Amino acid sequence: MSSSLTARERVRAELTREITDVARRQLAVEGASGLSLRAVAREMGMASSAIYRYFPSRDDLLTALIIHSYNAVGEAVEKADAAVPPEDHGGRWMAVCHAVRDWALAHPHEYALLYGSPVPGYRAPQDTVAAAVRDTVVYGRIVSDAHRAGALNPPGTTPPPLPPSFHEDAARVRELMPGVPDDAVVRGLVAWTGLFGWVSFELFGQFDNVILDRAAAFDHAMRRQARTLGLPA
């Protein structure tokens, strides 16, 4: 076992994992601004300076947590999508919506870290993007599948004309949803941002004292978004 891994490398990997685990627990309780390297070190019974052997700065530790969280929500979305018959595109969309919301409600501070204000100086190194798009990849596949199956019906009204510059932007988005025409791309973007806009409003307090049956309202709103997208739900 553990071929070509020295004892030192093994304990280093183990300690790195333990640090992120402790940090993740602190993040879940206190939020990003309450995450403290010294507190992590204290809980692990080691000197605070020793942490810097594993993470060169607090921001690097935060970045690790961000990547972890992106993967967590991405995995939740992947599982939710896989549990629905592939040809039921509307059901897959709803499953993704609920997966995002459920994960956000279960991990509010982590959701805030991903989709709220960028906390520290400023970040988003290149390492994060691969993990960051995992959920979007799933979503793009749903839209693409629906279009290929001819299930992506635009709403009855004639759409406003597309700005000429959007064609290039749509081409970049199309890498995630192959074959989908420009007009469906913009509808896809509107629905996707609408999902996160709703979840953020709910999580960040904008619905307080207004919307009380959050689950029901969310479910209905996302069914409406499905119509915008062109899916029956």
Which positions touch DNA (CB under 7 A)?
A: 6-8, 11-12, 15, 35-39, 45-50, 52-54, 56-59
Cβ neighbours of residue 151 closer than 8 Å, sequence gap 6 or more: 89, 230, 231, 232
Q: Does 155 bind its own copies (CB under 8 A)?
A: yes
Which does residue 225 bind out of its own copies, DNA, none, counting CB within 5 to 8 angstroms by kind?
Answer: its own copies
Cα gap 89→149, rounded to integer Å:
9
195 phi/psi in degrees, rounded to 5: -60, -50
Residue pair 215/184 in contact (Cβ under 8 Å)? The answer is no
Half-sphere exposure at residue 177, Cβ-oriented, CA atoms within 13 angstroms? 27
Q: Does 165 bind its own copies (CB under 8 A)?
A: yes
Interface segment toward its own copies; rule CB under 8 A; list 58-66, 73-81, 143-151, 216-224? 216-224
Quick one: the chain helix, strand, coil %, rounded to 5? 70, 0, 30
Residue pair 61/107 in contact (Cβ under 8 Å)? The answer is no
Interface segment toward its own copies; rule CB under 8 A; list 2-10, 15-23, 62-70, 223-231? 223-231
Cβ neighbours of residue 102 closer than 8 Å, sequence gap 6 or more: 76
Q: Does 88 bind its own copies (CB under 8 A)?
A: no
Q: Smallest distance from the beta carbon of 119 to its own copies, in angstroms?
A: 6
Q: Does 107 bind its own copies (CB under 8 A)?
A: no
Work out which of 149, 162, 178, 179 binds its own copies, going by CB under 8 A.
Answer: 162
Which does residue 205 bind out of its own copies, DNA, none, counting CB within 5 to 8 angstroms by kind?
Answer: its own copies
Cα dihedral sign, 188-103-57-52? negative
The site string for its own copies over 32-71 (x = CB under 8 A, - otherwise) reads xx--------------------------------------
- Centroid of chain to Cα 181: 24
For its own copies, the binding residues (CB under 8 A) are 31-33, 109, 112-113, 115-120, 124, 129, 155-157, 159-160, 162-163, 165-166, 168-169, 172-173, 186-187, 189-190, 193-198, 200-201, 204-206, 208-213, 216-217, 219-221, 223-225, 227-228, 233
